[in-house]
Amino acid sequence: MDIAFNWWLYVIIFVMVIVLYFIINAVLVGKIRKITLGEVLKNRE
């Protein structure tokens, strides 16, 4: 059974992983920036 892929498929997969990383990073950083300093201090225990 030959499971090898073409070289361009590896490039596409690598690019998709990098793009998804930056999308997820942007979403999470956006959520962090919405948190105010007062809210952080209030919820601190």
CA distance 18 to 15: 5
- pLDDT the model gives residue 45: 67
Give the type of residue at 41: L
- DSSP category for residue 42: H
Enter the DSSP assignment of 35: S
Work out the burial of residue 3: count CB atoms within 10 Å of its CB; fewer than 13 is exposed, 13-18 middle, 19 or more buried.
exposed
Q: How far apart are CA 44 and CA 23, in angstroms?
A: 29
- Please tell me the total count of domains within the chain: 1
Which tens digit of pLDDT belongs to each residue from 1-45?
888 889 999 999 999 999 999 999 999 999 999 989 888 888 886
Residue 1 lies in a domain: no
Q: What is the pTM of this model?
A: 0.68
Q: How far apart (Å, rounded) are the C-alpha atoms in residues 24 and 44?
A: 26
User: What pLDDT, on the 0 to 100 scale, is given for residue 43?
Assistant: 86
